Chain A
Amino acid sequence: MDFLVDVLAWFTDSANWQGSAGIPSRTLEHIRLSAFATMVAAGLAVPLGVLLGHSGRGGLIAVSVVNIGRAIPSFAVIALALPFSIRAGLGIGFWPTFLALVLLALPPIFTNSFTAVRSVGIDVVEAARGMGMREREVLLGIELPLAAPLILTGIRVAAVQVVATATLGALVGWGGLGRYIIDGFSVQDNVRVFAGALLVAALAILTDVLFSVAERILAARGGLHGHRLPARMERPA
């Protein structure tokens, strides 16, 4: 119990709420990089997945991307990003973390976008074509809206994973909430470690919940409901 009292004291200590190592600044840092990385990955993977899904090709790629992605540990991705970032002259800290997070976010977003478009009923697509819609209209007017909730499921899985892995950015010289855990370990300050873990876990769960709400809203507006099983099969980080 004494320990939890210490943790509470850590959170109420005003020193931990100020400056660049304070909770607000570290949290913002964590959210900003995670959001940036997820958006860049979505910008790349959603169009690719949707286009391939529309054309019906690349099913094998969609499956392999996820399987390969699962076998490569997030920790390895972030560690391997370091030498490449340094060689490219981007240095340590922000860039290796950012690169690793984008790479990790791509597979779930790509595969879910692909599957989402594939799972739009062929009868619906045929009906749209029969009504004289062009391919572009079928894609943008029919397939995309119906696939939207499932695409969002992919982005949710990726975002949760990105928030989790950003914690490891502290090991390649970046800030974020992982700093509390990593620095706490190195000075054997269990209170700081535990407090950092609470903040990271809360942020990951909050991300998951916010996206679930968004998915539900999208699904209620007429999309296919994102069934959770394939997406949830992603690994934690």
Chain B
Amino acid sequence: MPQRAFLATEPLIRWGWIWDHLDEIRIQTVEHFILTGIAVGIGFAIAMGLSIVALRFRRTYGPVTWVTGVLYTIPSLALFAFLVPYTGLSRLTAEIGLVSYTLLILVRNIVAGIDSVSPAVREAAVGMGYSRTRLFLEIELPLALPVIAAGLRIATVTVVGLVTVTSIIGQGGLGLFILDGLRRDFYTPLIVGSVLSVVLAVVMDLTLAGLERLLSPWSRAGVAR
């Protein structure tokens, strides 16, 4: 281990370093965003499938939340470590791990959202001759949007945080700076990576909140989440 005397005098931020690495910071921020986007996108597709099954066959909801719950409890580093012998230090390993963390949150919120649609609305639609598919796509999904969007936001913020860990299995993103800072006992990249990761999480959260408002003009009167 390096000498502590040196470490204690190292300034927390060397602005010169940031200035010299602006390009790399930009590239890794975009990479972080892409890794997050892929995970939440695929996670949402899988969660939607699982939710449709769970809504159609109620008895599967318990097992689905149990399995996704176990995945959620496994520490991220351990989950990546399980996959490395099979899928290597690859982006695939990172994405499998990240996707599995979104499932519990998304399935819960999609099912809760659809369940919250009032039976009167559903009956009215059926009475008007809506088929099961149209009822789901045109009535239930839009009405469930606030709850589903809340789940998407939580999943996104969670994944942004977890992407930092994927640097340990050789992937890019802002975690690379944190890891680099730790390995070289150099605080500037460590702080840059951490701060930008929080900023990215907040920006993506707010963007999704804005999108949700655009997509559901009827709930603008102020339905909380």
Contacts and interface: CB of A to CB of B under 8 A. Distances in A.
Interface residues of A, number: 49
Contact of A80 (B73, B74, B85, B194): B194
Contacts of B48: none
A201 B154 contact: no
Contacts of A70: 154, 157-158, 161, 201
Contacts of A91: 4
B164 A75 contact: yes
Contacts, number: 148
Interface of A is mostly: helix
Contact of B84 (A193, A229, A236): A193
Interface in B143-178: 154, 157-158, 160-162, 164-165, 168-169, 175, 178
B186 to A, nearest CB: 10
Chain B interface mostly: helix
Contacts of B135: none
Interface of B: 1, 4, 7-8, 10, 12, 69-70, 72-79, 81-82, 84-85, 101, 104-105, 108, 112, 154, 157-158, 160-162, 164-165, 168-169, 175, 178-179, 181-182, 187, 190-191, 193-194, 197-198, 201-202, 205
Interface of A: 3, 70-76, 79-80, 82-83, 86-87, 89, 91-92, 160, 163-165, 167-168, 171-173, 178, 181-182, 184-185, 190-191, 193-194, 196-198, 200-201, 204-205, 208, 229, 232-233, 235-237
